[in-house]
Amino acid sequence: MIVLVGCKPTQSVIVTNKDEAVKKGIYSSPVAEKKSTVAKTTKTVKPIVEPSKKEKNTSKKSLLNETDDTVYSDNNDVSYYIKQLINNAMQYNGVRYRGGGTTTEGMDCSGLVTTVFKTYDISLPRSSFDMAKVGKKLDRSDIQVGDLVFFKTNGRKVINHVGLVTEIKGDEIIFIHSTTQRGVILSSTKEPYYQRTFAQANRVLSEDYF
């Protein structure tokens, strides 16, 4: 059984073109080596994060969906923006655990999530407990790739762990997170430990991003 400890402790610019995303340094296909893509400057935003007016006028069909993109979801409707978000998160897969960490040298669960979202100029609370208060709380059946899942681990009565949803398989939710024993890994809500400790899911991005 994986044992976790609690995690310690803006309007986004949507990039809908792969070449532009690569040029801006905020997107690349996952690779074996670990590298950080954290933006140097961010803006604080209020939940839920809303897209720009220009992006609201852009239909989902106009978002690039190139065949060479790695997609961590069986859902063909996942937007290019969410693909960028998940691909960025996957670059940290295998990074070791470090309480309060936010880099490839080590990160905790909320450190992973805040680092990934900060890449796209979205500032989230630093702790999983406070992060669970941001955005829209979801019914389990409404959870999509790009949402956040929260847990109450070690028998605690408050939320102390968070992960980012990378894939939906029917009623199974795959998420990336940082654990104390194995660092950043992919896990499933089908695993008994996460079935038992699942608390809630939140959407911190507006529906226009999905």
Measured between alpha carbons, how far is 49 from 47 in angstroms, rounded to an integer? 5
Q: Do you know the residue count of the chain?
A: 210
Which entry of 18, 83, 161, 203 is annotated as an active-site residue?
A: 161
pLDDT tens across 88-109, in order? 999 999 999 999 999 999 999 9
Residue 202 phi, psi (nearest 5):
-130, 150
Which entry of 14, 49, 109, 112 is annotated as an active-site residue?
A: 109
Which entry of 177, 184, 203, 209 is annotated as an active-site residue?
A: 177
All domains in the chain, ordered by first residue: 18-25+41-209 (3.90.1720.10)
pLDDT tens across 9-43, in order? 434 445 555 666 666 666 555 544 444 443 433 43
For residue 44, the tally of other CB atoms under 10 A from its CB is: 9
User: From its phi and psi, is residue 99 left (phi > 0), alpha (psi between -120 and 50) or beta?
Assistant: beta
Measured between alpha carbons, how far is 210 from 50 in angstroms, rounded to an integer? 12
Active-site residue flag, 177: yes
